Amino acid sequence: MNDTAPQDNQPDGNYTGDHANDEEGSSDATEGHDDEDEIYEGEYQGIPSDANARDEPVALGQPLADGLKDRRELENERQADEEELAQQYELIIQECGHGRFQWQLFFTLGLALMSDGVEVFVVGFVLPSAEMDMCVPDSRSGWLGSIVYLGMMVGAFFWGGMADKVGRRQCLLICMSMNGFFAFLSSFVQGYGFFLLCRMIAGFGIGGAVPIVFSYFAEVLAREKRGEHLSWLCMFWMIGEIYASAMAWAVIPHYGWSFSMGSAYQFHSWRVFVVVCALPCVCAVVALTFMPESPKFYLEVGKHDEAWMILKQIHDTNMRARGQPEKVFTVNRIKIPKQIDEFVEMQTESGNLFSKVIFRIKTELHGVRFMICNLSSVISSMYYGLSVWFPDVIKHLQANEYASKVQRHNNERIEDFTFNFTLENQIHTNSLFINDRFISMKFKSVTFINSTFQSCFFEDVTSVGSYFRNCTFIEAVFYNTDIDDSKLINTDVINSTFYHNKTGCQMTFEDDYSAYWVYFVNFLGTLAVLPGNIISALLMDKIGRLSMLGFSMILSGISCFFLWFGTSESMMLGMLCLYNGLSISAWNSLDVVTVELYPTDRRGTGFGFCNALCKLAAVMGNLIFGSLVGITKAIPILLASSVLVGGGLVGLRLPDTRSNVLM
């Protein structure tokens, strides 16, 4: 019996592939028969080939060859073929069942999605510490957050498009490996410029996670399972937030978790946090090496043998887990959509490179569903804007309370005194210090104005948020301190000596209530998402994607309005938890709808385009809402409420996709 693959000139294309399972598909009755005469049960028989059709003369009453048809006829035929393939693929996935394979892929892709959630929040947690540690001036402050979002925005569009050309698994492996490597490297670099570069490349890598993960997982789910299990997958993004918040809370404030190599290399606790946050990405890369490519993608690019083998692997894996290893995979034919040269209509044009590039861009953008992209941008800008505004408002309330407790000392004279304790939240004006010693102590939020230090000795002194304005130092000695020109503002230093000054900007989180509180606020806000995530997963396939999207946006918009009445930290925290819990259903619905709206050859590109707009909207939301902290509550509250309610009303008018098969 001949078991070789069929040649293109076989008349009917039926064959027994090498990948067939002999125990499940072989039969004694097949001996003595030709390959063309027998179709084995449970084995893939290939696709009938019509490669010679174009070379044969056209007989009267026979279908026209492809070369004699116009583009519209070819497109109609391809559309019919794709619809038939979509229905067939849905039946195949139903036969494969939902079981061990889907759960293995679920946890693998969940780790990748968790890494994206970590990357978004690690920026905000690391930003204050990294900029302080690297002595970043206020003029460059904030670049880290913006440049990481820029990398994620470009990465989402690039990797989403590449996933439609190269494959879901391959692209996800590359982009996750890139993120893990450069995220790990960024924890060791000392210069702020190199740190920015590493985080930008890491952001570029992780930008591809969301569009690829949802496209990949949706293509192995049956229609009745798709909405629910894609919503469960969304929980990993929340788990990434919880992980980042918990690790920041546990690691960063511990200033003692650091070491130095001389005065040039410092490794503080925030760098330990960066390393810890790269671990989910590393785990995702390892797990992905054991998973196959999406069979739907293989079918789209014409690799039908590979697709059949993966579908059989899914079927057999699930059947063995159910205790039914004897059950045969009965699929033996898979429809081939008609392939159309996308540059056919350019034959009358010049055909130069510029024209091809323009045509490619038009082709890619033609399939983008801009209404869904607009809704994604609305939710993203409001969510990330409010996520920045909530903690900053709380920090602003704390700062006002802290400033109200400042201790003021005027016209004091202190002579021959030893300071060996922490001075905190004080302002000294027109003070005179003579022969005083400052030994192994800290200045924390202390300002000296128009003060004089004569014959004073400073040793092992650390200053955080402390400055000397219009002061005078006469015959002073500084040994192993961090007091430098950045803290001596319009200050005269006369006959004074500096020995072994500490390099870099010194950080301390000891007894820093504000740092602990910010991480705790983010942790609680993320934990509040859990009930909304569970509800959306259970109801996604019952009430419909667009209904859940619309009502979630409307309710979260209404919850924003009640922020107007928040006057304390506890009230603002409660509103943050309520908003996060209500808005998560809209996010989950958008992810499911976006996957179902795009065909396989545009799914990664369309999802990536929407995700790139989300990142751009997130940057705009951060800038707008961040600039309003401490100024007014009216604008952010009214803006968020009106935009979310309006977007929800638009979402309710869109067609639902829960009954659609994946094209």
The per-residue pLDDT for range 491-538, each reduced to its tens digit, is: 999 999 988 777 655 554 444 445 566 677 777 777 888 888 888 888
Q: Which of 52-56, 162-166, 354-358, 485-489 has the lowest mean pLDDT?
A: 52-56
**Mean of the per-residue pLDDT values for the chain?**
75
C-alpha dihedral, 391 to 393 to 397 to 399, nearest 10°: 70
- Inter-residue contact 652 to 546 (CB < 8 Å): yes
Q: What is the pLDDT of residue 548?
A: 84
Pick the CATH number of 73-329 from 3.40.190.80, 1.20.1250.20, 1.20.1260.10, 3.40.50.880: 1.20.1250.20
Q: How confident is the model at residue 326 (pLDDT cuts 50, 70, 90)?
A: confident
Neighbours of 64 (CB within 10 A): 11
pLDDT tens per residue across span 608-627: 888 888 888 777 777 777 67
Q: What is the pLDDT of residue 95?
A: 85
Phi, psi of 453 (to 5 degrees): -120, 110
pLDDT tens per residue across span 401-432: 778 888 999 999 999 999 999 898 999 999 99
Please check the confidence at residue 471 and state whether its pLDDT lies above 50: yes
Helix (H) or strand (E) holding 318: helix 304-321
* Pairwise CA distance, residues 156 & 150, whole Å: 10
Question: How many residues are there in the chain?
Answer: 663
Q: What is the pLDDT of residue 411?
A: 92
Please check the confidence at residue 132 and state whether its pLDDT lies above 60: yes
C-alpha dihedral, 243 to 247 to 248 to 252, nearest 10°: -170
Q: What is the pLDDT of residue 257?
A: 54
Which amino acid is located at 339 in the chain? Q
Q: What is the mean predicted confidence (pLDDT) over 20-31? A: 38
Q: How confident is the model at residue 137 (pLDDT cuts 50, 70, 90)?
A: low
Numbered ranges of CATH 1.20.1250.20 in the chain: 73-329
Residue 513, classified by CB atoms within 10 Å of its CB into exposed (0-12), middle (13-18) or buried (19+), is exposed
- Best CA proximity match to 269, nearest among 285, 244, 291, 252: 252
Q: What is the mean predicted confidence (pLDDT) over 645-655? A: 77
- Inter-residue contact 193 to 629 (CB < 8 Å): no
* Pairwise CA distance, residues 294 & 285, whole Å: 16
411: three-class secondary structure by DSSP: coil
Structure tokens at 192: 């702020």
Numbered ranges of CATH 2.160.20.80 in the chain: 405-499
Which residues lie below 8 Å from residue 378, measured CB to CB, with a gap of 6+?
553, 617, 643, 644, 647
435 or 354: which leads in pLDDT: 435
Neighbours of 98 (CB within 10 A): 17
Which amino acid is located at 274 in the chain? V
- CATH code of the domain occupying 405-499: 2.160.20.80
pLDDT tens per residue across span 531-581: 888 888 888 878 878 888 888 888 888 888 877 776 667 777 777 788 888
Which residues lie below 8 Å from residue 148, measured CB to CB, with a gap of 6+?
119, 123, 199, 200, 202, 203
Q: What is the pLDDT of residue 343?
A: 43
Neighbours of 122 (CB within 10 A): 27
